[in-house]
Structure 1
């Protein structure tokens, strides 16, 4: 496996748009696209070259190596989304899909990073490709420093190698941390279908584990749709959430989920335990004895 390290100088105009806003956008939307340029020799293989080259789908690590020492370090992860047409010039345009960005000041410090990934220093002023143990060490450093969103069952971006990942589309409103806070503050942490109260069941931290369910039918979600978190989202436990989305294109409503739960209560074909069998035998003997006529 190979990965690309790109150095970023925040004082230059390399980043397209306000970085601070893109940090929040990456958490909210899942990905931020940025244009970059790579040295031509990194984007096209040369005959007999031993160094790996940048390929679509490989990991990209954003590192600050300039400015004050306290501001340097590993600050973002993404994947190489596209490589432009190869020309005879010194550089090749690429597009990077950043799926995780740290606020400036929260980056992984440079000193411990270099101790485990010495090849980072080779990126001073130019992108470099790393592979082997350094690529593995870079992922480990990031995995130890970047936590996934609360209640997320998905691994943190960059914590797994490309071969172990699959990108899927999700309902952005159900995964927006700002909307989640508003919904929990208004509706509480209780599943609106089965009544499981996460805070009561798992303690104070449990309130953050309930999931958000977007109840607005898909046909009403257009390009100009503006979600109302207090009307369009309700808390559901993970089990009820899966059942709700088991019907497509219109998920089961909260009322329908409650009807399912009301009709349930037993599982056909369930095997009884030895204790249950013994209890049934004892009950049968008691009933049999009570039904026998009194001969006195």
Structure 2
């Protein structure tokens, strides 16, 4: 027989949080980390990875330990399972399963108590993004490059070149844990050259679709929006030989299944290696050309069309630029975080110093020399004329305006 879920008031949570004999620094770190995340929820595995602990057992152990200490001091009813064991995590969280992962979600009363105790003032929002490795075996699915059929990969590359993105459906073994927004890499396996030849992001929840062979069975898939796609038959790719070093050697790059998780300690090194590979290759489609997502709006009371273009760049290039220059505007020095608090944390545009139309196919981006952080207003003003203003020219306009 089970009891009802413990209902702890905000006032009692405030008392508990202020009791240093009960709540230890690591306990607060778990709560504050959850507070910083979208929807204030995460699995114990994700929490451990963000905090920097070796595995989820540290998170689970801290939660259970705190629950036991609270029970010794406060008379709070617990939830008991059918086998008589007690749930201690639901003092603090609601929870649900997402695939094989159990997700902790911060209770509203605890969230309010953290805020009232001043424990959230300097917390910056964090976005969880995992990376996954998908595979293509031309020995099993040759239609993509078979010269006797329509060369679909070339059509996909052409679409990417013309529109800045191409969205494809791919089977995914990790369908129980993958999320929209996760990073995706695509590797060729089965025949040489073997290695990574595409990258992008997951843009759908997993769904069931018919097996590629036409067999009467469904397999889990996701939609991937690719930002880079090379033809392994015509262009160099990042081969497995280049991935056999450092942390990269800890990952299997030619797995039997598609859509497997890339180890967190490997993902950053992979981004860097992929960036450096693309940067040094004279490929016919430059993944560093700005891809456009154009939104058309109308000014009230006028039929004038206003086109706003949003530019997205290589993840590694953007990150390296911002690591070097920070998140204040290079023109007006505006900081979204200083003005808006945590809402503006790490919000900024990245401006390319060289006009996109003049970039040739062999152009190679250097994140420090070629990119600068700018606020959206200054970014728009830089591109108000053709060719764009330089950053110094816009600074002079502001100074003399």
TM-score (ref. length: structure 1): 0.47
TM-score (ref. length: structure 2): 0.36
Q: Bigger relative contact order, structure 1 or 2, given CA contacts below 8 A and separation 6+?
A: 1
From the CA coordinates, give the structure whose radius of gyration is larger: 1
